[in-house]
Amino acid sequence: MNYTEELGRKAKAAEPVIASASTKLKDSALAAISKALIENTDLIIAENAKDIAAAKENGMTDAKIDRLKLDKSRIEGMAKGVDELIALKDPIGQVTDGFVRPNGLRITKTRVPLGVIGIIFESRPNVTVDAAALCLKAGNVVILKGGKEAINSNICLGSIMRKAVESQGLPADVIQVVENTSRETTTALMKLNGYVDVLIPRGSANLIQAVVQNATVPVIETGAGNCHVYVDSSADLDMAVEITDNAKTQRPSVCNAIESLLVHKDVAEKFLPMIAERFKEHNVKIYGCDRTIAILGKDIEKATETEYATEFNDFIIAVKVVDDIDEAIAHIRKYSTRHSECIVTKSLENAQKFQRQVDAAAVYVNASTRFTDGGEFGFGAEIGISTQKLHARGPMGLTELTTFKYLIDGNGQIR
Same domain, 11 and 133: yes
Rounded CA-CA distance 94/260 in Å is 41
Same domain, 178 and 310: no
Residue 101 lies in a domain: yes
Structural domain count of the chain: 2
CATH number at residue 239: 3.40.309.10
Rounded CA-CA distance 263/270 in Å is 10
Residue 15 lies in a domain: yes
Same domain, 168 and 53: yes
Same domain, 217 and 243: no
Same domain, 214 and 66: yes
Q: pLDDT at position 164, please?
A: 98
Residue 376 lies in a domain: no
CATH number at residue 391: 3.40.605.10
Same domain, 216 and 317: no
In sign, the C-alpha dihedral spanning 303, 307, 313, 319 is positive
Going along 203-303, which residue ranges are E strands? 227-231, 258-264, 285-288, 301-302
Rounded CA-CA distance 350/164 in Å is 52
Q: What is the mean pLDDT, run by run of 10 residues, along the chain of 415 residues?
A: 93 98 98 98 97 92 86 95 93 96 98 97 88 96 95 97 98 97 91 96 83 93 89 98 98 93 98 97 97 94 96 95 98 96 98 98 98 86 83 90 96 96
With H, G, I as helix, E, B as strand and everything else as coil, classify residue 59: coil
Q: What is the pLDDT of residues 345-403, one digit of tens each?
A: 999 999 999 999 999 999 999 999 999 998 899 887 678 889 888 888 999 889 999 99
Q: What is the pLDDT of residues 272-294, one digit of tens each?
A: 999 999 999 999 999 999 999 99
Other C-beta atoms lying within 10 Å of the C-beta of residue 216: 11
Same domain, 250 and 213: no
Alpha carbon of 414 to those of 105, 315, 406: distances in Å?
Answer: 10, 66, 18
Of 158, 161, 176, whose CA–CA distance to 13 is shortest?
Answer: 176
Residue 378 lies in a domain: no
Query: Could you tell me the residue range of the domain that residue 233 belongs to?
Result: 227-371
Q: What is the pLDDT of residues 78-106, one digit of tens each?
A: 999 899 999 999 999 999 999 999 999 99
In sign, the C-alpha dihedral spanning 217, 219, 224, 226 is positive
Same domain, 154 and 14: yes
Residue 299 lies in a domain: yes
Residue 96 lies in a domain: yes
Same domain, 218 and 235: no
Same domain, 351 and 391: no
Residue 414 lies in a domain: no
Same domain, 313 and 260: yes
φ and ψ of 57, to 5 deg: -65, -30
Same domain, 174 and 29: yes
Residue 142 lies in a domain: yes
Q: pLDDT at position 332, please?
A: 98
